[in-house]
Amino acid sequence: MIFIDIVLPVFLIILTGFFLAKFGSFDMRTLADIALLIFTPALVFTALLKTPDTLTMSHQLVPFMIIYTLTMWTLAVVCGRSCGLGNDDRRALILSTAMMNVGNFGLPLAWFAFGEKGLNISILTFVLFNLPLGTLAIYIAQGGRGDWRTSLLNITKIPIFHAVLLALLCIKMELVPPAYILRPLELLGQPAIPLMLILLGMQLAKTNPRVNFRFLSLAVVLRLCLAPLLAWGLTGLLDISGIARAVVILQTSTPSAVLPLLYSIRFNTRPDLVAGAIFITTLLSSITLTFILYLLQ
């Protein structure tokens, strides 16, 4: 029942986007811009305003994000070297395993699994993990050739963080936006989650994965097996408990993120391998996430 009630709905929406891209002629770039510039910031802003207490978890989730990302990065490097992967292949492995799909996949999954309370916590997790997605992922894809300051500045260009800062300002100053502002923002935030899943399906339909058994095996083991174990241990170490613990473990056990694929294409960092990892981990996550949800419940 866990698979049918929680995991299957997510994959059905992804499948919708997949078939739309295969048999339709939609401008995915425009849809992605609408989601990034309008729907997602509206969702983040209104969710944080409705549950300001969620922000108190930042002192636990920030160290979790840092330790988790650096540990997964280290594991990818060590495993890649142990298996004889070249420099570009190792960078592709880091992009495929240290960066998970905490947004497109993680937000709706947490919402289906834990309802409104789970969604609010997952939004905070989503915001925090966009820091490495917007900085480290670019630096890794560049192979250290780029300026880390430029990578860091990219985070200021993401509208999601403007929404976070604005919400923090309102909470700090105890300002409540009038209804004629909040109501349209709440409506604009509602399409964010289904559109994220549809975009994921459309992106999967356009990827050209390459079958490399050694690379894909490493990606699957690191992303779908070791990552949940690491999250489980870190939540205990950092005393993250209750529904927050369940959401964080679930969200950081999701398949490989799509955004690093765009970076790997831009900097020619084995996009064929990254695309393959996204495709296979997304498919196999239907099994692993069902098992994780069973343990969490």
Domain boundaries in the chain?
2-291
For 239-254, the pLDDT digits (tens) are 999 999 999 999 999 9
For 26-47, the pLDDT digits (tens) are 888 788 888 888 998 899 899 8
CATH architecture of 2-291: Up-down Bundle (1.20)
pLDDT for position 185? 94
Average pLDDT, the chain: 87
Interval 76-85 mean pLDDT:
92
pTM across the whole model: 0.87
Tokens of 73: 């990065």
Q: Which residue has the higher pLDDT, 94 or 266?
A: 94
